[in-house]
Amino acid sequence: MLFIPKFFLNLSSRSFNNNVVCLGEQLIKVVLVLREILPIHFWMGADVDASPNNLVREFSSFNFKIIGEDQNLIDLAENTDQFLSGVFIAIEGNEITDIKSDAAGSTEDEPFRGLDLINVLIEIRAFDTTAFEIYSESLAIIEKLSSHFNEPIQTKK
């Protein structure tokens, strides 16, 4: 396991002042904050289910597939009312040829599970329409998100 997150945020209805969570517009808010603080990166997705699911269907398997830059993920989220599940990871760099084709992730995996991928900056899980779970090895990244969404940081015990 190469990505082993140490820090966690739970973005729930309180984080967005909305009783409904995992909305496309909420994922966009998270991505816009991250866009300002992450180094050069690209996004991958797996285990994505959404309503409507026309655009996300290609990311429904447990194997990660490349989404692209921030704008590609924003475009995907703009056309999504609500994510029922999904794992989105930001990987540092812009070299997408070295990604293992069998790298996999699931929304239902245990908290703080590792991923067999290198250079993962952050993992966002849309969890059962109840919360966005955000994991990272970087305290600095999690602190920025914690400050923006006014949510406490949790650590791996």
Q: Parse the chain into domains and list their residue ranges.
A: 7-155
Q: Rounded to whole angstroms, how far apart are CA atoms 134 and 64?
A: 17
- Model confidence pLDDT, tens digit, residues 99-116: 555 555 655 556 656 787
Q: Rounded to whole angstroms, how far apart are CA atoms 59 and 53?
A: 10
Per-residue tokens: 128: 């059962």
Beta-bridged to residue 89, according to DSSP, are 44, 123
pLDDT band at 51 (very low <50, low <70, confident <90, very high): confident
pTM of the entire structure? 0.88
CB–CB of 122/6 below 8 Å? no
- Better-scored residue on pLDDT, 119 or 116: 119
Q: In this predicted structure, what is the pLDDT of residue 98?
A: 52
CB–CB of 33/144 below 8 Å? yes
Per-residue tokens: 41: 């990166």
